[in-house]
Chain A
Amino acid sequence: MMQTKNLKGAGWALRPVNLKLLEQEPIPPLDFLAICSEEWLGLGGTYSTALQKLSDRYPLACHGRGLSLGGPGILDQNLIKDLKSFINSQKITSITEQLAWSADDMPLYGSFPIPGTYEAVRWTASRISQVQDALGMQIGVSNVAHFMVPPDAQINEAEFIAAVVKEAGCKLHLDVTALYVNSQNFAFDVQSFLEMLPLDLVNYVLVSGLTQGNYGLLTPSRLEPVSAPVWQLLANLVEKIKPQTPICLQYEPQASDWSSCVEDVGQIARLQFRSQV
């Protein structure tokens, strides 16, 4: 099985709509770019040409949410095939998929928590293994923000993540903002949650902003800058995970506010540097 090349440093999540931002000065000192596969799959022409040029300059990581790893329907083999071809053509070095479900037999345009049952662990891990075999590479699965706890749970979320990662033999990608949001919305202790996770298998970290939605619930938002408690949690996390673990900023600033993105990427780099000295 092909191993992913090691990403490192600080990266930024790029959407097709933001391609032009990377032509604006100052360009943040990015070590890599991250893209969402659903947004780019099927986009050829000017989009793929632009992405290819960027992939010559930066290593590319890819986040996905369309495979519906814990979904009840059949795995979309065509999507996996297209993803493989996309990975090869764009020289993508790291693949993350949300540890969630997002489709029954058709996409639902949402990411839903997988019921925490032992059967769901086996089912999901088996699907992750199928994806890894088909792609010929190890993938990472990432925790997601959620707004309900599915009924009939036998284990909690952290136990579920740990069990799936162990059984599937995959990596763990931590979405720090999703973790913080869940800890606030469901009132659990984030440190205890982290202790249950296989942090030695974390090889990718994502941070974004957050906003308060309906019913006072927090929700991640890429339109907001990273908030102070999330920075704090990230600072705490980098002490616990392997040095040089890549950290991606998911922040889509207004075109006129690009400099704040530059600043946040710098903040990530400083945290990484401090954790290594």
Chain B
Amino acid sequence: MIHLIDVKKEFQGRSVLHNINLNVEKGETLAIIGASGSGKSTLLRLMIGLLQPTSGEVWIKNVEISQLPEIELDKIRLNMGMVFQYSALFDSMTVGDNVAFGLKEHTKLTSDKIKQVVHEKLKLVELEGFEAMMPNELSGGMKKRISLARAIAFEPEIVLYDEPSSGLDPIMAAKIDELIVNTQQVLGVTSVVVTHDMNSAFHIADRIAMVYDGELIAIDDVEGIQNSQDPRVREFIHGTIKPIKRRQMHVDRS
């Protein structure tokens, strides 16, 4: 469904991703893990054409999108949804208008039908009845759920999540995880979730890929990642740091 071949990305001469090869199968949920600044979100943005790779190819279904003009890219994007790290709700619109945005822009559905779809999607994220509220009246968790409702309103085949549970309390983070699993089961979407929350990744993912300093160093199912012998993977999933760094810190303090 999503296929990246030898993808490199540089920003102002600084390499952020090097030679990424990645394949996401139809209907699976792939979690991309890695430290902050490792290039996870850049990878997600390449998949939806918000960034173009410096070299390499990005295939969505059977279309290579990295060189597509914007108008052709839009046709591909109609089949994709994205949940942004900070929700990116349109703050001048109500919750209902946010969720209905894609339907109003790209379909000829009647306003009654649109209202019905909005209600259904809000019900899916357990926020029915919030249509008239403004984004600034909502909590962070609610905004994330509205963002998910907006992403799936057009019934896309692919949904990308950028740090869906960051900044949320553990209960709300677990709720968002449930919604991601539920969305995958109900709509059968292909999901790519960028996260550094290991509990979340283990819970929602079929496979997990780890990005380390711009390189894809591991990709395996949950069990394979949990049992990985790569010290970089082990350090990250167990939240430990290299002993040498610890020693260095003692030296620095003294």
Say if A and B assemble together: no
Q: Using a CB–CB distance below 8 Å, which chain A residues touch chain B? A: none
